[in-house]
Amino acid sequence: MAGYIILGKWTEKGAAEVKNSPERMKQARAAAEKLGGKVVGMWVTMGQYDGVIVLDMPNEQAASLIALAMARQGTATTQTMRAFSEDEFAQLVAKLP
């Protein structure tokens, strides 16, 4: 599985509906599982981003569907990044000339 990190910022709508966030987090977890992945962890954060989600997903399409589903709700904007594990990174750099 491939690792992904989603950084989220609440929109005005998301801030107004913050009490619904725990339910949305449960829905995100269920959506990841339905797509063959899993949520490694979710954190509400202080600072530039309001939340961080770490996912293991089978492919980019599945990870994109999670981010698109979040965007569709209108409660957060997201930035999604592919994250390489230590082992994946070691395999990558081993191939360098």
* Cα distances (angstroms) measured from residue 59 to each of 20, 24, 42, 51, 66: 29, 22, 19, 22, 11
Give residue limits of the domains in the chain: 2-94
Q: How high is the pLDDT of residue 91? A: 96
Q: Which CATH architecture has domain 2-94?
A: 2-Layer Sandwich (3.30)
Residue 64 pLDDT: 94
Q: How far apart are CA 93 and CA 30, in angstroms?
A: 34
pLDDT digits (tens, 9 = 90+) for 19-49: 999 999 999 999 999 999 999 999 999 999 9
CA gap 30, 39 in Å, rounded: 9
Q: What's the pLDDT tens digit per position in 43-81?
A: 999 999 999 999 999 999 999 999 999 999 999 999 999
The pLDDT, as a whole number, for residue 55 is 97
